[in-house]
Amino acid sequence: MRARPAEYELAAPGTLSAVLSLLAQEPGEWLPIAGGTDVMVQYSAGRLPSRKLVSIWNLPELRRIETIGGKICIGAGCTYADLCDHDIVRREFSLLASAARWTGGVANQNRGTIGGNIVNASPAGDSLPALMVYDADLILVSAKGRRSASYSDFHTGYRKTRLAPDELVESISLDRRFSGYYAHARKVGARHAQAISKVCFAALGQLADGVVDDVRLAMGSVAPVPLRLSETERLVKGHRIEPELMRLASRTAAAEIRPIDDIRSTARYRAAVAGNLVAEFLERLSVRGRTI
Amino acid sequence: MIEPPQSHTKCEISFQVNGKLVAVRAYPMERLLDVLREELGLTGTKEGCGEGECGSCSVLMDGVLVNSCLVPALQAKGVNITTVEGLAEDERLHALQQAFLDCGGAQCGICTPGMILAALHLLGKKPQPTMEDIREGLSGNLCRCTGYAQIIEAVAEVGRRGIAG
Amino acid sequence: MNTNRIVGKSMPRLEGRGKVTGQALYVDDIVLPGMLFGATVRSRIPRGRITKITFGPGVDWNEFVIVSAKDIPGKNCIALIDDDEPCLADGKVNHPEEPILLLAHPDRRLLPQAVEAVSVEYEPLPAIFSIEESEQHSQIIWGADNVFKSYLIEKGDLDAVWERADYVVEGEYATGAQEQLYIENNGMIAAFDPQQGLTVWGSMQCPYYVHKSLVKLFNLPAERVRVVQTETGGAFGGKEDYPSMIAGHAALLAMKSGRPVKIVYDRMEDMAATTKRHPSRTRHRTAVSKEGKILGGEIEFAIDGGAYETLSPVVLSRGAIHAGGAYSWPSIRIRAKAVATNTPPQGAFRGFGAPQSLFALERHMDRIAQVIQLSPAEIRRRNFIKPGETTTTGQTVTEAIDLGKLLDRAMEISDYSAKKERFAKENRNSTRKKGIGLASFLHGAGFTGSGERFLSSVVGVEGCAEGSVRILVSSTEFGQGTNTVLCQIVAEALKVRYEDVSIARPDTQEVPNSGPTVASRTVMVVGKLVQSAALGIQQTLEASGLLGAIYSPEEFRAAVRAYVAKNGKLQALARYEQPEDIVWDEQKYRGSAYAAFAWAVYVAEVAVDLTSYSVSVDDFVALQEVGRVLNPVLAKGQIIGGIAQGIGFALYEKVIWQEGRMQNGQMTNYIIPTSADLAPIRVYFEELGNVHGAFGAKGIGELPMDGPAPAIINAVEDALGVPFRSIPLLPEDIFDAVANERERERFSPVAGDRR
């Protein structure tokens, strides 16, 4: 433990509006901390630059899941365990439920939050590719009010987002229109549990008369931001899934991403695995995708 | 010009530990792990890594398994904590503790408190877990001595006997 | 058939209750009044001279106790085999993380920043980081030639065999560093009293090693240094010698401050600064006949010892002696060396050189099999050592071990042949390639050669006032079952109840030196001595007339009570005596290297997922002959735990080095298997007995570390047809090999292996 607790302030105003007031008064001064599974690791290593933190853990306004009309609204303060346990998330947004079960171990799933995963903005965030393919919208909130932002371009660079210094992510809004899709997710890490992903993949697909009607592919840990594989999607849409298409899609995916060598893995490995995962998905889609 | 770091003051934080109400004076950003071990003298909860990977610091917070090395003390305000010290009733061991003894689930013992709490949490959600459930439920608790086999046996045994047995 | 009441049964772990209730006290659970906390300022460069040390602003240095090399009263060294490792750097550093200064303060939380605030300036010197660089002598960093130690083991007339060999098979194999990763980090508490002397308490394997090094460091008489082991959360060799260093540090701070001092490392410091398994490189050149018989071979075995000698000569010795494995070598030449690099000194880790040389050998046997076109099982079968034959050091195998039968049994249990055939067929149409591989090996228990005689271990057994019996040994418990099994031995020997026997905490003030808790010697060697000493007590009681030839446990207790009441003390000691049939020539490195060998055949079934290039071990069969199983649950636990570490050694655990410093010193990035990663491991025992071990037991602690890695990599080659020669084997390595066709080797005898 390399930090000195005496040097840190942690405020816990207890309501969302009180937290937002604090952020509005001193924008950029207070670091929000929810479950702490990222912040506390940096803190313990003596590598947390912020000395002022504000707790947003367990705020009822942020930790709830509601269905309104044709949408589901997931509070940013929901833990991974909250997501895994929710009936509709499990049934209709299985990519998110899978990612939640693969993040850390049980103890970290009980504290880590989906909002934290988003705002922390690590490209290795396991839930992020799922949010991309589900076309998530984020509801951002500040003392000034709410705004909506599409998740698709929320990440602007490595660990950078469009979140303003006085804002929090309040909730994630998803359209409930993906039940008919074939859903496939896979995380490749150094071991089966408690692993930071080397490649993290979420995919949805739909066939019509044997032809790909819609396909949505997103990947983490292969670029500075979680990436939607738009070129690969364009390549595949409107075609039958055949070995040659799968090979081409593999190569396109491998070329579309920007992986690096780091302490966990190599760029060339990530590229190869990315291509393999896309091919694997297409193969399964061709076998198990339902025709509309 | 770098400002010298401020020294803030401790605050009073009260919560329940193993059914007893406690009040400590601690910095809000002290780790719950250190509050338990140093303020309250409950050294059964261990530090193995300080990064939430090994699970030796696992406790139950309102019945839910968490890594106490990652919980700021202030966030424990008003909660109900269960540590390994809260499992046995006087001389009578908890079924999990007995099973760990019977099956060889503890070798050096340093991961054991966290492992038992993880098992307790799992059995609360799945009273008759499959082997797969057990492997997954304990996957956030690292053990270097046992290779997990006899730990899994112990948990499976309690699943069979029932947790009250 | 087990006719014993206690030995051979799964008696409950003696100290188990404390462990499952959280009441067991590990060093960081202990607080002494007035205690300070200590921390270490360490080198940031691999090699150089210290030119300046500045104590930076923002810290009130008056509140700190500061210790440097100048504060050392005795010799500035961690005494082990030689005295080359400094306790604190004095003007120069030879590896990253080398300790330079010590700080202490009452507030634990102030130390990390204080350590950061000490700035050390250096004049860097060129540094070397690998066996190859060390051999090239571009820099001489130790002795005259960077070589800590070398051995030459020769048998038969090797030079004559090359001519008549039908095949000469060569191969080079490598293993990486491996971190012991005990879940309890290193820690010590020290207290210094000008009259009483020095006391240290902490996490350790060898109290008397710590004692010896403190005596030298402080120039104190032996009776004024006291070392006590606290409950130890895992060790695996990683706490064999390093505790002497951290104890020395805590003691220096305690002496200077006049207060007790606790030093406990956090995970990052422990991983970066303390010992690991020696990286190795082994080169084989083997002469083989077309009938598949080994005629002879040359083995070059090199290990990287880091910056100081520490235990390297002994690791080298064991690795060299095991390099020929479980086979009959009519002739052999083993050249072994331990070399210096500018990395933190390496140390003991379960297996201690044997996992390294046996990995190479067992991979090489599969290579020979391919060249000659025999199966991996058959090449081994034709070369297994048999009773009456001699090992590479000329030790005659006297026990009735039948390795061919052991192999048969392992293959049957694992369904080896059927699976091998089935996998070969199924792999053609699958992206999940399956393979099965085996390893056959041995592990010598106890200290090598004259080692046990040199240790001259002493144990005691005493009667207590209330009638129970207490064991006095310096052998430590750290999960492997020392306490339990030694008490079982005494209870059985004395025909009393398991509950009537206890064991003293290893405290050098209370117990004799039964030797270090290493080398798989505790049950076998110390256990046998403890059995003797127990019988000594029995004889004393009989001779005194207080006990008949036949008695009940209650009568025994009464006799003890009576004797102690009358005479004040009831104690028997036993000292090790080398059996006459164990003769060793230290100069020629020939003779009986070990009192007993345990034998094993392991079979690994793997699947390689070609989507992610990851290997999973789907089934693992571990069959071993261990003399006698004294406690089935504990024995099984040892085997499975060792295999899990072996799986990590093969597939997961990579130390990433940069300029001599470990970069991935966190549990997030140094990967060991979780419960979700290990398939069930199936364990089977055979028992041939052992005249040199308590109740026929052989040492088993390290045996399970030797087999998994080669069995697994043999299986991966079976699955993919690619010959991997170094571990750890990560998915990235598999990808690189599979992707690059040019790196695939062909094994037809035409391609250069045939003479």
Report DSSP letters for C102-148, one per residue. Answer: EEEES-GGGHHHHHHHEEEEEEE-----SHHHHHHTSS--STTTSEE
- Both C442 and C458 in one domain: the answer is no
Read off the pLDDT of residues C189-248 as tens digits, 9 standing for 90 and up: 999 998 889 999 999 999 999 999 999 999 999 999 999 999 999 999 999 999 999 999
- Both B31 and B54 in one domain: the answer is yes
Could you tell me if residue C4 is inside a domain? Answer: no
DSSP per-residue string spanning C331-393: SEEEEEEEE--SSPPP---TTTTHHHHHHHHHHHHHHHHHHHT--HHHHHHTTB--TT-B-TT
Omega of the bond leading into C728 within 30 degrees of 0 (cis): yes
Range name among B80-89, C153-162, C577-586 with the lowest pLDDT average: C577-586
Q: Give the sheet arrangement for strand C48-55, strand by strand.
A: C92-93, C48-55, C118-124
- Both B79 and B145 in one domain: the answer is no
* Residues spanned by the domain of A243: 195-288
Could you tell me if residue B118 is inside a domain? Answer: yes
Please identify every stretch of chain A with a pLDDT value under 70, giving residue numbers as ranges: 289-292
Nearest C-alpha of chain A: how many angstroms from C672? 8
Instruction: Label residue C4 by pLDDT band (50, 70, 90).
Output: confident
- Both B77 and B107 in one domain: the answer is no
Provide the 10 A C-beta neighbour count for residue C59. 18
> Given a cut of 70, is residue C750 above it in pLDDT?
no
- Both C315 and C442 in one domain: the answer is yes
Nearest CA in chain A to C671: A190
- Both C440 and C461 in one domain: the answer is no
- Say which DSSP state B86 is in: G
Could you tell me if residue C156 is inside a domain? Answer: no
> Given a cut of 70, is residue C718 above it in pLDDT?
yes
Instruction: Label residue B4 by pLDDT band (50, 70, 90).
Output: low
CATH classification of the domain holding B34: 3.10.20.30
Domain final residue pick, B51, B86, B121: B86
* 3-state secondary structure (DSSP) of residue C310: coil
Domain final residue pick, B86, B118, B146: B86
Q: List the single best residue of C732, C733, C736 to mutate versus A (max A Cβ within 10 A).
A: C732
C645 interfacial to chain B (CB closer than 8 Å): yes
DSSP per-residue string spanning A180-199: TSEEEEEEE-SSSSS---SE
> Given a cut of 80, is residue B84 above it in pLDDT?
yes
Could you tell me if residue B35 is inside a domain? Answer: yes
Average model confidence (pLDDT) for chain C? Answer: 96
Read off the pLDDT of residues C5-39 as tens digits, 9 standing for 90 and up: 999 999 999 999 999 999 999 999 999 999 999 99
Tell me which chain C residues have a C-beta less than 8 angstroms from the C-beta of B111.
183, 233
Could you tell me if residue A187 is inside a domain? Answer: no
Q: CB of C489 within 8 A of CB of C531? A: yes
Nearest C-alpha of chain C: how many angstroms from A78? 24
Tell which phi-psi region holds residue C274, choosing left (phi > 0), alpha (psi between -120 and 50) or beta.
beta
* Residues spanned by the domain of B155: 95-161
Could you tell me if residue A159 is inside a domain? Answer: yes
Output the pLDDT for position B164. 67
Nearest CA in chain B to C236: B145
Let me know if B38 is exposed, middle or buried by CB neighbors in 10 A (0-12, 13-18, 19+). Answer: middle
Could you tell me if residue B19 is inside a domain? Answer: yes
Neighbour subunits, C (≥3 Cβ pairs < 8 A): A, B
B10 interfacial to chain C (CB closer than 8 Å): no
How big is chain B, counted in residues? Answer: 165
Question: Do A12 and B65 make contact, defined as CB atoms within 8 angstroms?
Answer: no
> Given a cut of 60, is residue B143 above it in pLDDT?
yes
- Both C358 and C235 in one domain: the answer is no
- Both B80 and B104 in one domain: the answer is no
Could you tell me if residue C165 is inside a domain? Answer: no
SS3 of B125-161: the string is: HCCCCCHHHHHHHCCCCCCCCCCCHHHHHHHHHHHHH
Question: Do A263 and C677 make contact, defined as CB atoms within 8 angstroms?
Answer: no
Closest-CA residue to B99 (of C633, C635, C184): C633
Tell me which chain C residues have a C-beta less than 8 angstroms from the C-beta of B143.
183, 675
Which one of C234, C643, C681 has the shortest CB-CB distance to B144? C234
- Both C648 and C718 in one domain: the answer is yes
Domain final residue pick, C575, C604, C636: C575
Tell me which chain A residues have a C-beta less than 8 angstroms from the C-beta of B5.
4, 7, 51
- Both A263 and A242 in one domain: the answer is yes
- Both A50 and A83 in one domain: the answer is no
DSSP per-residue string spanning C199-255: EEEES-S-HHHHHHHHHHHHT--GGGEEEEEPB----TTTTSSHHHHHHHHHHHHHH
- Both A69 and A163 in one domain: the answer is yes
Tell me which chain B residues have a C-beta less than 8 angstroms from the C-beta of A106.
65, 118, 121-122, 136-137, 139-140
CATH classification of the domain holding A108: 3.30.465.10
A164 interfacial to chain B (CB closer than 8 Å): no
Instruction: Label residue C745 by pLDDT band (50, 70, 90).
Output: very low
Output the pLDDT for position C741. 53
Output the pLDDT for position C158. 93
Residue C128 CB contacts under 8 Å (≥ 6 apart), including other chains: C134, C138, C139, C141, C146, C341, C342
Nearest C-alpha of chain A: how many angstroms from C262? 15
Could you tell me if residue C148 is inside a domain? Answer: no
Nearest C-alpha of chain A: how many angstroms from C746? 25
Question: Do B97 and C20 make contact, defined as CB atoms within 8 angstroms?
Answer: yes
Question: Do B93 and C633 make contact, defined as CB atoms within 8 angstroms?
Answer: no
Output the pLDDT for position C744. 40
* 3-state secondary structure (DSSP) of residue B20: strand
Output the pLDDT for position B5. 62
Domain final residue pick, B86, B114, B129: B86
Output the pLDDT for position C97. 98
- Both C369 and C431 in one domain: the answer is yes
Range name among A15-19, C414-418, C691-695, C749-753 with the lowest pLDDT average: C749-753
Could you tell me if residue C133 is inside a domain? Answer: no
Nearest CA in chain A to B140: A105
Question: Do B136 and A44 make contact, defined as CB atoms within 8 angstroms?
Answer: no
Q: How far apart are CA C312 and CA C308, in angstroms?
A: 9
CA-based radius of gyration for chain A: 19
Nearest C-alpha of chain B: how many angstroms from A206? 31
- Both B152 and B109 in one domain: the answer is yes
- Both A94 and A46 in one domain: the answer is no
- Both C606 and C715 in one domain: the answer is yes
CATH classification of the domain holding C654: 3.30.365.10
Could you tell me if residue B77 is inside a domain? Answer: yes
Let me know if A155 is exposed, middle or buried by CB neighbors in 10 A (0-12, 13-18, 19+). Answer: buried
Read off the pLDDT of residues C597-608 as tens digits, 9 standing for 90 and up: 999 999 999 999
Could you tell me if residue C743 is inside a domain? Answer: yes
Could you tell me if residue A188 is inside a domain? Answer: no
CATH classification of the domain holding B103: 1.10.150.120
Domain count, chain A: 3
Instruction: Label residue C746 by pLDDT band (50, 70, 90).
Output: very low
- Both C464 and C525 in one domain: the answer is yes
Chains B–C, number of C-beta pairs less than 8 Å apart = 172
Domain count, chain C: 3
Please report the residues numbered 91 through 150 in chain B whose beta carbons come closer than 8 angstroms to any beta carbon of chain A. 118, 121-122, 136-137, 139-141
Could you tell me if residue B27 is inside a domain? Answer: yes
Output the pLDDT for position C580. 86
- Both B38 and B71 in one domain: the answer is yes
Question: Do B110 and C183 make contact, defined as CB atoms within 8 angstroms?
Answer: yes
- Both B125 and B150 in one domain: the answer is yes
Output the pLDDT for position A290. 57
Could you tell me if residue A183 is inside a domain? Answer: no
Instruction: Give me the mean pLDDT over the C313-328 stretch.
Output: 98
Read off the pLDDT of residues C283-296 as tens digits, 9 standing for 90 and up: 999 999 999 999 99
How big is chain C, counted in residues? Answer: 755
Domain count, chain B: 2
Output the pLDDT for position C652. 98
Please report the residues numbered 475 through 534 in chain C whose beta carbons come closer than 8 angstroms to any beta carbon of chain A. none
Could you tell me if residue C10 is inside a domain? Answer: no
- Both C555 and C592 in one domain: the answer is no
Output the pLDDT for position A288. 84
- Both B152 and B104 in one domain: the answer is yes
pTM over 0.95: yes
Output the pLDDT for position C612. 97
Residue C679 CB contacts under 8 Å (≥ 6 apart), including other chains: C616, C617, C618, C619, C620
CATH classification of the domain holding A202: 3.30.390.50
Could you tell me if residue A60 is inside a domain? Answer: no
Domain final residue pick, C247, C273, C299: C273
Nearest C-alpha of chain C: how many angstroms from B23? 21
* Residues spanned by the domain of C263: 31-125+180-273
Read off the pLDDT of residues C455-467 as tens digits, 9 standing for 90 and up: 999 999 999 999 9
HSE, side-chain direction, 13 A CA sphere, residue A255? 9
- Both C546 and C622 in one domain: the answer is no
> Given a cut of 50, is residue B2 above it in pLDDT?
no
> Given a cut of 70, is residue B6 above it in pLDDT?
no
Instruction: Give me the mean pLDDT over the C510-516 stretch.
Output: 98
- Both C245 and C368 in one domain: the answer is no
Could you tell me if residue A129 is inside a domain? Answer: yes
Could you tell me if residue C687 is inside a domain? Answer: yes
Q: How far apart are CA C570 and CA C561, in angstroms?
A: 9
